[in-house]
C-alpha cells in the first residue's frame, strides 16, 4: 500500500491557461474525492466518484472545472481558463466502502496551484 499519490506536487501557470492534475488512489479503494484548500481554511469538497461514476459535484465546481475517472482507477481534475482565484491546494482522497476503515478517507499530499 503506497498511499494516495498526486502529480504534480506544484504547478505554476499563467491566468487563462489550462491545467490538469492527476490522482492515483489506494489500489483497493473504489471511492475517490477531490477537495480544494485555500490558505487558512479547511478543505472544501469539490466532487466524488464511486468507481467511474461521478456521483456528486459541489456548486464550487464551476463549468471551468471537470473531473474524470475513466476506468475507476486514477482520476484527473482539469481547470480551463485558470483565474487567480483558482490558486489553492487541490487534495485527493480515497476510501473503501467496507471493512474496518469504512468511511475513512485517505488523503494524498496535494497539488499546489499558483495562478499568476
Partner 1 sequence: AQSVTQLDSQVPVFEEAPVELRCNYSSSVSVYLFWYVQYPNQGLQLLLKYLSGSTLVKGINGFEAEFNKSQTSFHLRKPSVHISDTAEYFCAVSGSYNTDKLIFGTGTRLQVFP
- CA gap 75, 99 in Å, rounded: 23
- CA gap 81, 59 in Å, rounded: 18
- 25 lines the binding site for partner 1 (CB under 8 A): no
Pick from 17, 18, 41, 51 the residue near partner 1 by CB under 8 A.
41
- CA gap 2, 13 in Å, rounded: 29
- 38 lines the binding site for partner 1 (CB under 8 A): no
- Residue 12 burial (CB count, 10 A): 12
- 28 lines the binding site for partner 1 (CB under 8 A): no
What does the block give as the cell for 76? 484527473
What does the block give as the cell for 95? 476510501
Q: Is 15 helix (H, G, I), strand (E, B) or coil?
A: coil
Would you say 44 or 52 has its CB closer to partner 1? 44
In the complex, minimum distance from the CB of residue 40 to partner 1, in angstroms, rounded to a whole number: 7
Would you say 44 or 68 has its CB closer to partner 1? 44
- 74 lines the binding site for partner 1 (CB under 8 A): no
Site residues (CB under 8 A) for partner 1? 4, 31, 33, 35, 40-45, 48, 50, 55-56, 91, 93, 102-110
Amino acid at each position: 500500500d503506497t498511499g494516495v499519490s498526486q502529480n504534480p506536487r506544484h504547478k505554476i501557470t499563467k491566468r487563462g491557461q489550462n491545467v490538469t492534475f492527476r490522482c492515483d488512489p489506494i489500489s483497493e479503494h473504489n471511492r475517490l474525492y477531490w477537495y480544494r484548500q485555500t490558505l487558512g481554511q479547511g478543505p472544501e469538497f469539490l466532487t466524488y466518484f464511486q468507481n467511474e461514476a461521478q456521483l456528486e459535484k459541489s456548486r464550487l465546481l464551476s463549468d471551468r472545472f471537470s473531473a474524470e475517472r475513466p476506468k475507476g482507477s486514477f482520476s484527473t481534475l482539469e481547470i480551463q481558463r485558470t483565474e487567480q482565484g483558482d490558486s489553492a491546494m487541490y487534495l485527493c482522497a480515497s476510501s473503501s466502502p467496507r471493512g474496518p476503515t469504512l468511511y475513512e478517507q485517505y488523503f494524498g499530499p496535494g497539488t499546489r496551484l499558483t495562478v499568476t
